[in-house]
Amino acid sequence: MKAKVGDRLVEEGRHVGDHRRVGVITAVRHDDGSPPYVVRWFDSQHEALVFPGPDARVERDQAAGAPG
C-alpha cells in the first residue's frame, strides 16, 4: 500500500455492525509512501497514527491531478 498526503484511507468494518471509516491522510512517515500514516478521521476529526490492515484501501486525491 502506498499513499501521499491528501489521499483518503477507507477502512471497511470487519464485523457485523461495524461501520466504514474514512479519513484524510495528513502525514506520510516514509518517502516511499508506505505505512504508517497520520489520518484525520472524518467522523470524529481525531488524528491518529494508523497501520492499515487488510480491510483498508487508499483512494487517490483527485484534486492533486486536476489542472488549476
Residue 14 lies in a domain: yes
**Interval 13-29: pLDDT, tens:** 777 777 889 999 999 99
Residue 36 lies in a domain: yes
Q: How far apart are the C-alpha atoms of 33 and 14, rounded to whole Å? A: 25
Residue 65 lies in a domain: no
Task: Tell me what the pLDDT averaged over the chain comes to.
Answer: 89
Residue 51 lies in a domain: yes
Residue 64 lies in a domain: no
| Least confident window among 5-9, 16-20, 54-58 | 16-20
Domain count, the chain: 1
Q: What pTM value is reported for the model?
A: 0.82
Instruction: Check residue 35 and report its DSSP letter.
Output: S
> Cα 2 from chain centroid?
10
Q: What's the pLDDT at 64? A: 61
Query: What range does the domain containing 16 cover?
Result: 8-59
